[in-house]
């Protein structure tokens, strides 16, 4: 006999809530870190546009020009740090033969045999 709300079906397994191997949390963390990288890139682009506008509108004022150059350098250093983190993770994963950025964990439900 169905309840007031009808038949309730359990959710379909997906990558984040996979109950077989337990790797869903690692995939979720990996996706969150990738999203943070995309957001950092978008923030870099916005900061470079604002710094370029600040440089153009400085009209030769040394303080405004220096502030614009500082913003440009800080943006470049920030994106280099973010890109370096992904590059280092890829290189370490290559030498250890694991895919750090796209993890695959093997457990009781999904062995390679």
pLDDT value for 51: 93
Closest CA to 109 of 12, 26, 4, 13: 13
- Give the pair of three-digit tokens for residue 111: 């062995």
Q: What is the pTM of this model?
A: 0.64
Model pLDDT, residue 100: 74
Q: What is the pLDDT of residue 98?
A: 75
Sequence-separated (6 or more) residues with CB below 8 Å from residue 113: none
What integer pLDDT is reported at residue 15 of this predicted model?
55
Which portions of the chain are predicted below pLDDT 50? 111
Distance CA 74, CA 69 (A): 9
């Amino acid at each position: 006999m169905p309840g007031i709300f009808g038949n309730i079906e359990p959710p379909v397994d997906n990558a984040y809530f996979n109950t077989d191997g337990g790797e869903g949390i690692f995939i979720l963390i990996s996706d969150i870190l990738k999203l943070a990288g995309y957001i950092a890139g978008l923030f870099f682009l916005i900061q470079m546009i604002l710094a370029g506008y600040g440089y153009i509108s400085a009209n030769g004022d040394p303080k405004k020009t220096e502030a614009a150059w500082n913003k440009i350098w800080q943006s470049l250093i920030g994106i280099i740090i973010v890109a370096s983190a992904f590059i280092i993770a890829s290189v370490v994963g290559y030498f250890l033969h694991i895919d750090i950025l796209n993890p695959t964990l093997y457990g009781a439900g999904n062995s390679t045999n």
